[in-house]
Chain A
Amino acid sequence: MSSGPSLLGLYRPGTTFLHRAPLSVRVAALVVLALAVVLLRGPWTSLAALGLGCLAAVLARLPLRATVRGLGPVLLTALAIACYQTWQRGWDVGAEVSGDLLALVVAGTVVTATTPTDVLLDGLTRAVRPLRRLGLPPEGFALAVALMLRTVPALGDLFGEVRDAAKARGLERSPRALLVPFAIRTVGRARTVGDALAARGIGD
C-alpha cells in the first residue's frame, strides 16, 4: 500500500479545459458514467467507459507514472476480480466487473485531481444543503468527504509503517501483527484528527 501517494483526492494544478470546467459539469459527467456502467451490461460498455476515463485522464494531463503507481492497489484488486470472475463466470463477466471498477476509479481520480479540495468542499456543501432540513449540517457532510479523500494516502502510509514494524520483529507473515496495530492506530489517528479539527474550530 505504500507503493506511492494515491492520486485520489490529490489536486493537480493545471489549466486544461477539464480544470476550467464548472465542478457541476464534471460531477454530472461522473454520475452519468456511473449510471451507464451500472445500467448497461456487457464487457464492451465497461471497456468503453474505461476508455473514456483514461481519455479524460490524458486530457487533464495527469502524470502517467504517478497515476498508475497511485492506482496500484486498485489495479491489483481489479486484476484479482477479473481472474476470479473469468474462472467462475467467463471472460465477459470478468472484463465487465473489473472494467466497471477501474472506469469509476479513474473517472473519480480525474474529478478530484482537477478540483481544489476547497472548491470541492463548497460544491458539496451546496449540493447537500437540503440535508439541513433533516438536521444534518451540510458543512459537516462536505468535510467528512474531504477528510475521507485525505485519509486514503494517510492510511496507506500508516499501513506501511505497521508492516515495517512487523517485518522488523520478524512477524511479516502474521495477519494479527499487521491488522491489530493497524486498526488501533487508525482509531487513535481518528481521535487525534478529531481533536485537531475541534482545536481549529471546524465543526463548532
Chain B
Amino acid sequence: MIELQAAGVSVPDPAGGSDLVLLSPVTCTLGERRVAVIGANGSGKSTLARLVNGLRPATTGRVVTCGLDVATHGSSVRSKVGFVFTDPDAQLVMPTAVEDVALSLRRSVPDAAERDVLARAALARLGLAEHASTPVHALSGGQKQLLALAGVLATDPLVLVCDEPTTLLDLRWRRVVDRLLDEVDAQLLLVTHDLDAARRADRVLVVDQGSVVADGQPEAMVERYVELMRTR
C-alpha cells in the first residue's frame, strides 16, 4: 500500500529564481496490485516513483509506504520496497552475478554460506543459474536486467517499483521481463512507456508536466495519454 498525501517535489532554481516544481502535490492511495505510471519523458514519472522509497524526498506533504512514513523510516521502507532501474549497469555493483544477489541479502542473512545458497536459488528462479559465476559485464542487456530483478526479488519485497525496466531491452527480453513482472507477488508500481504493459495494470496514473493529470482504469487512461501527446 502506497499513500501519497499532498506529496510534491521542488528544487531550488540554479539561476536564482523561484523553486522549480518537479512534481506538483499529489494525493492518492495506491492499493491495487499493479499500478502503471505513464507520461512523456521528463514529465515527473521517475520522481513520483522515487518518492515511494525515499530516493527522492518529498519537499511538501507526506509519503506512507507499507504503513511507514518514508521521511522518518526510510531505511525500514527500503527494506520492504524493491526498486529496479532502467539501466541495470547502474544497479549491479558486484563482479559476478551470484555475488551481486548475495549483496542484496547481506542485511537479512548474516551467514555467507547461507547467503550464497539463497542467491543461487534466486538466480535459478529467474533462469540465470548457469550464469551465477559469470562476470556481470559479460552478460547481455536482457540478462543484466533479469539479474537486477533477481537481486531485488531475493529480498521478498512487499512493493516492487520498476522505473522503465524494459526501455533498453529488445522484444525478446522485454517479453521475458514483462512475464516475470506479471507473476511477482509484490505490489507493482511500473513506470513505463510500454502502453501494452500499462493496459495490463489494474490502475494507471498519467503524469504530464510535473502533475498527475489523470488517474483511473487502464484503457481510458492510455487513450487519454495518447490524446494528450497528439496535442503536443
Contact = CB atoms under 8 A, between A and B. Distances in A.
Contacts of B87: 192
B93 A5 contact: no
The SS class assigned to the A binding surface is helix
A196 B94 contact: no
Interface in B73-114: 74-75, 78-79, 81-83, 85, 87, 89-91, 93-96, 99, 102-104, 106-107, 112
Given A150-B93, A153-B135, A196-B85, A204 B99 contact: no
Assign chain B's interface to a size class.
20 to 34
Contacts of B79: 201, 204
B96 A5 contact: no
B99 A202 contact: no
Contacts of B29: none
Nearest to A122: B112
B133 A11 contact: yes
Interface in A133-178: 146-147, 149-150, 153-154, 157
B193 to A, nearest CB: 19
B90 A195 contact: yes
B53 interface: yes
B215 interface: no
Nearest to A190: B90
A94 B102 CA distance: 43
Interface of B: 53, 55, 74-75, 78-79, 81-83, 85, 87, 89-91, 93-96, 99, 102-104, 106-107, 112, 115-116, 133, 135-138, 151-152
A13 B133 contact: yes
A28 interface: no
Contacts, number: 88
B135 A10 contact: yes
The SS class assigned to the B binding surface is helix
A197 B107 CA distance: 13
Given A5-B138, A118-B102, A199-B53, A204 B95 contact: no
Interface residues of A, number: 30
B99 A117 contact: yes
B96 A189 contact: no
Nearest to B102: A118
A204 B83 CA distance: 15
A35 interface: no
Nearest to B83: A199
B53 A5 contact: no
A199 B78 contact: yes
A76 interface: no
Contact of B94 (A5, A117, A198, A199): A117
Contact of B95 (A122, A150, A157): A150
Contacts of B115: 118
B90 A192 contact: yes
